[in-house]
């Protein structure tokens, strides 16, 4: 992984903590949350305040995420909102943390000037014992305060001020006045500068979790389903349709009936041929790397020669994409690529829906040879698979991502996954009533 770290592809955009004052605040917060402390003189933190160096020092990569459910966080600066989230257990966690920081940025800026803000993403479940427990995670509530309890004290002071203004004999209550003065020394004048964080509740009707080998829960759709990366859970789940990654036809129908995906070649504002060519190049690289071919300093013509030389070794997914690219570039007969074809999911991208990122994450797992999409949409899986690649493939992919993706992340994401608004004004197509009778993906026994 050293190559990825050096190129900023792993642990990139972390916030460097080296100030003695910040380290002291971090330790106070860490002691407050977990009873632990670090002896390091400098380290890096992600958006939640998790540090890989501290995790290694403590021998606990989940020191801020006990049981992998209720993620705790330490905020030392609002700049953490730009950092990634490491050791992801739920796909929604980073978005919730970033939204919380952005919603309260001015207040957090003031609070972190003198103290760390510590908190937790609170679920209704403390520990996931079975897959059924995942269905109870319908919302996440953010709780936060400074280590010194500034917000709690501010609330108490505001209540005391209200008593002082409304109770008849409050002017003569020396204890109340003394308590108000003591609290104001910690919080300042809350009547002029209210100290308050918007600690909202975030709904999560669809999400990915790393628990049980990886699961995608789409529970808020017209046709809900769960898709598991490993084996289907033994315990019965409170949902009718449970698929694994081998259920290609049913996953394809699931995406279609919920309008979650669209063909790349029919997407608006997209250079479909270029995207398909890049996917084919990644497949060529994988084949050549497994054959022990040197992949250094490859150009466009070198890639074509590699493909021609190893045409008999290239998998069927390559040939399916090649036929589709030929249609996209020069027309001709439309290639029939059904969901049984290995290339099928490589031809799709997520439609413009609230579930776009989650669908692209699922598609990345279904298309592991497209290493660029895997890196962008499912970093946890990218890092796991990268560790088992031949060295020549590791070097090629790391160089490609550093030179072609890192230089313009926003532009690359827009070219691959961006959407223009649909201006057609057409009514959505009505589904056949057969769906209501047997379900959208055929007769699947209820688990």
Interval 97-112: pLDDT, tens: 999 999 989 888 878 8
pTM: 0.83
Averaged confidence pLDDT in the chain: 85
Residues 13, 143, single domain; the answer is: yes
Beta bridge partners of 117: 75, 146
**Domain end residue (candidates: 168, 187, 203):** 203
pLDDT tens string 383-418: 999 999 999 999 999 999 998 888 778 888 888 887
Q: What is the pLDDT of residue 157?
A: 55
Question: Any idea which of 58-72, 137-151, 261-275, 425-439 has the lowest mean pLDDT?
Answer: 425-439
Is residue 249 within 8 A of residue 339, CB to CB? The reply is: yes
Of residues 290 and 185, more confidently modeled: 290
Query: Does residue 437 form part of some domain?
Result: no
Same-domain pairing of 268 and 401: yes
User: Does the pLDDT at position 326 exceed 80?
Assistant: yes
Same domain, 276 and 400: yes
Q: Is residue 352 a part of any domain in this protein?
A: yes
On whether both 143 and 274 belong to a single domain, the answer is no
| Boundary (domain end) residue, out of 203, 227, 246 | 203
* Confidence (pLDDT) at 195: 59
If one compares 194 and 398, the residue with the highest pLDDT of the two is 398
How many angstroms separate the Cα of 78 from the Cα of each of 183, 245, 408, 421?
Answer: 26, 39, 24, 33
pLDDT value at position 352?
Answer: 92
Within-domain flag for 279: yes
* Residue 265 and residue 397 in one domain: yes
179 burial class (0-12, 13-18, 19+ CB within 10 angstroms)?
middle
Whose structure tokens read 């074809």?
341
Pairing relationship of beta strands 215-218 and 225-228 according to DSSP bridges: antiparallel
Q: Rounded mean pLDDT of 301-313?
A: 84
For residue 244, is it within any domain?
Answer: no
Distance CA 347, CA 264 (A): 6
Task: Say yes or no: 282 and 408 in one domain.
Answer: yes
> What pLDDT score was predicted for residue 186?
63
Q: Label the pairing between strands 117-122 and 72-75.
A: antiparallel
Domain residues for the domain of 345 are 260-417
Range in 146-160, 357-371, 418-432 the model is least confident about: 418-432
Q: Compute φ and ψ for 95, nearest 5 degrees.
A: -60, -40
Domain assignment present for 235: no
Single out the residue of 120, 121, 124 nearest to residue 138, CA to CA: 124
Can you give the three-state secondary structure of the chain, one letter per residue?
A: CHHHHHCCCCCCCCEEECCHHHHHHHHHHHHHHHCCCCCCCCEEECCCCCCHHHHHHHCCCCCCCHHHCCCEEEECCHHHHHCCCCCCCECCHHHHHHHHHHHCHHHHHHHCCCCCEEEEEECCCCCCCCHHHHHHCCEEEEEEEECCCHHHHHHHHHHHHHHHHHCCCHHHCHHHHHHHHHHHHHHCCCCCCCCCCCCCEEECCEEEECHHHCEEEECCCCCCEEEECCCCCCCCCCCCCEEECCCHHHHHHHHHHCCCEEEHHHCCCCCHHHHHHHHHHHHHHHHHHHCCCCCCCCCHHHHHHHHHHCCCCCCHHHHHHHHHHHHHHHCCCCCCCCCCCCCHHHHEEECCCCCHHHHHHHHHHHCCCCHHHHHHHCHHHHHHHHCCCCHHHHHHHHHHHHHHHHHHHHHHHHHHHCCCCCCCCCCCCCCCCHHHHHCCCCCCCCC
140 and 271 in a single domain? The answer is no
Q: Quote the number of domains for the chain.
A: 2
CA–CA distance, 301 with 427 (Å, rounded to integer): 46
Answer whether 276's CB lies under 8 Å from 328's CB: yes
Mean pLDDT across 132-152:
85
**Euclidean distance between the first and final Cα of the chain, in Å?**
40
CA 446 to each of CA 106, 211, 266, 442: distance values in angstroms, whole numbers, following the listed order: 50, 22, 35, 12
Confidence of residue 438 (pLDDT cuts 50, 70, 90): very low
From 69, 28, 65, select the one nearest 47 (Cα to Cα): 65
What count of residues does the chain have?
447
Q: Are 400 and 298 a contacting pair, CB within 8 Å? A: no
Which of 161, 180, 203 terminates a domain? The answer is 203
**Position 443 in a domain:** no
Asked whether residue 435 is assigned to any structural domain, the reply reads: no
Residue 77 in domain: yes
Residues 6+ apart with CB under 8 A from 31: 37
Torsion of CA 111, 112, 116, 119, to 10 degrees: 60
Measured CA to CA in angstroms, residue 354 lies from 205, 207, 217, 420 at distances of 10, 11, 14, 15
Residues of the chain with pLDDT > 90, as a percent, come to 55
Q: How far apart are CA 172 and CA 406, in angstroms?
A: 66
């Amino acid at each position: 992984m050293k190559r990825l770290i050096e190129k900023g592809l792993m642990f990139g955009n972390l916030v460097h903590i080296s100030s003695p004052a910040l380290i002291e605040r971090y330790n106070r917060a860490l002691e407050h949350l977990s009873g632990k402390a670090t002896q390091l003189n400098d380290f890096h933190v992600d958006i939640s305040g998790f540090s890989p160096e501290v995790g290694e020092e403590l021998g606990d990569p989940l020191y801020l995420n006990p049981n992998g459910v209720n993620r705790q966080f330490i905020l030392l600066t609002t700049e953490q909102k730009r950092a990634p989230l490491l050791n992801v257990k739920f796909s929604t966690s980073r978005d919730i943390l970033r939204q919380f920081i952005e919603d309260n940025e001015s207040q957090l800026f003031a609070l972190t000037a003198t103290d760390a803000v510590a908190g937790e993403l609170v679920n209704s479940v403390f520990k996931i014992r079975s897959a059924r427990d995942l269905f109870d995670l319908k919302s996440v509530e953010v709780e936060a305060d400074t280590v010194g309890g500034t917000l709690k004290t501010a609330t108490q002071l505001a209540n005391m001020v209200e008593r002082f203004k409304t109770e008849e004999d409050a002017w003569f209550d020396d204890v109340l006045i003394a308590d108000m003065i003591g609290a104001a020394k910690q919080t300042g004048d809350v009547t002029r500068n209210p100290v308050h964080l918007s600690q909202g509740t975030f709904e999560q009707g669809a999400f990915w979790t790393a628990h049980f080998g990886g699961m995608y829960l789409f529970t808020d759709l017209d046709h809900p389903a769960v898709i598991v990366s490993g084996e289907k859970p033994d315990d019965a789940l409170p949902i009718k349709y449970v698929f694994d990654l081998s259920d290609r036809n049913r996953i394809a129908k699931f995406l279609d009936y919920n309008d979650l995906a669209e063909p790349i070649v029919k997407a608006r504002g997209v250079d479909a041929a270029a995207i398909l060519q890049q996917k084919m190049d990644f497949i060529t690289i994988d084949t050549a790397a497994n054959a022990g071919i040197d992949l250094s300093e490859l150009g466009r013509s070198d890639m074509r020669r590699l493909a021609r030389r190893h045409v008999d070794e290239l998998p069927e997914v390559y040939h399916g994409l090649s036929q589709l690219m030929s249609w996209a570039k020069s027309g001709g007969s439309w290639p029939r690529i059904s969901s049984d074809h290995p290339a099928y999911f490589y031809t799709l991208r997520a439609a413009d829906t609230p579930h776009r990122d989650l669908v692209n994450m699922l598609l990345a797992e279904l298309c592991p040879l497209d290493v660029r999409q895997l890196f962008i949409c499912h970093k946890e899986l990218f890092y796991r698979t990268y560790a088992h690649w031949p060295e020549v493939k590791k070097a090629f992919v790391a160089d490609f991502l550093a030179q072609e993706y890192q230089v313009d992340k926003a532009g690359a994401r827009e070219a691959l996954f961006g959407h223009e608004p649909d201006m057609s004004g057409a009514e959505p197509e009505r589904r056949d009533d057969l769906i209501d009778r047997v379900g959208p993906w055929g007769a699947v026994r209820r688990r």
